[in-house]
Amino acid sequence: MADSLSEVTNSAGPVGAKEEILHECESIWKQLEEWQSKIMLLGTETLLPPDAKLSLLVLQWKALTADCHQWQARSPEVIATNRDVLLELGKEELQKVKNELEMMLSMVQSKNKLLDEALKREQQWYEEQKHIVDTFKKFEEEANTQAEQPSTEREFDELKNKILKLKACKKKLLRALGEFLDEHFPRPEIVENTEKKNSSAEPPVELITLKEILEILIKKLMSTPHDPYITIHESFWPPYIELLLRYGIALIHPEDASRMRLQAF
């Protein structure tokens, strides 16, 4: 039967490989059904006495045990001997193994990617924690150094010297600024008009210097910072007012053009 099946398969070629295996499986299944029917016929025999039944069961158990050992000792037989059939089966098995390996490779690559991202996050967190620890160590060393050196009196003297230097520098700057303003922005001269002089008996208003205007603005800003605006008086020379506004030194009140304030530098 196997030789005839092999001849049919050889003549059919690799196209009928699956049909040949199905045919052989059907034949094996028919044999199994025949054996099962024989076993069922044995079970329908007339009941025997208990002793004879027990002996028969023992004999059946021994026979089944011998068959079991025999089947375990047997090596699996190849269902088909056709090379084309075996080649097709081998190709299908290799393709199945290839698909499983590709799936496993994809899973491993995705897992490695997740692990790399987690590693990068952990390294970044480690660097941040290391930087924080180094900063705290530096602060601790500075605090310990300051605690070891009784430098309160020394720091007070240094601060006092700095204040004195700042005051001296302030006086120097104010003096230089005053000299500069007195030299380049003197008190304006009053030019009297003959017609106005004859028609009006009031004396002309005395104009003040640019330095005095700045002093008024500074005092107003320091004394009342919540309301630093001053009223533009007749004694303010208009060109000086225009100079302060043009260069952003002073600002006009947004709602009252007769008031101005010093720019908050």
Confidence at 8, pLDDT banded by 50, 70, 90: very low
Q: How many CB atoms lie within 10 A of CB 8?
A: 14
- pLDDT at 7 exceeding the cut of 80: no
Instruction: Name residues whose C-beta falls within 8 Å of residue 262's C-beta, 6 or more positions apart in sequence.
Output: 214, 217, 218, 220, 221, 228, 249, 250, 251
Residue type for position 238: P
In 74-151, alpha helices (H): 83-148
**pLDDT, mean of residues 93-110:** 91
The whole-number average pLDDT for the span 76-97 is 76
Q: Is the pLDDT of residue 208 over 60?
A: yes
Show the tokens assigned to 237.
């020379």
Strand 250-252 vs strand 230-231: parallel, antiparallel, or unpaired? unpaired
DSSP string, 14-29: GGGHHHHHHHHHHHHH
Cβ(232)–Cβ(241) below 8 Å: yes
Contact between 17 and 85 under an 8 Å Cβ cutoff? The reply is yes
CA angle 231, 237, 239 (to 5 degrees): 110
Which is more confidently placed, 57 or 226? 226
pLDDT in tens, 16-74: 666 777 777 788 888 877 877 777 776 555 545 556 667 777 787 888 888 777 777 76
**Is the per-residue pLDDT at 100 higher than 80?**
yes
Structure-token pair, residue 180: 């500069």
- For the cut 80, the answer to whether the pLDDT of residue 131 exceeds it is yes
For 70, the token pair is: 């025999």
Whether pTM > 0.95 for this model: the answer is: no
Distance CA 260, CA 265 (A): 15
Question: What number of other Cβ atoms are within 10 A of residue 208's Cβ?
Answer: 17
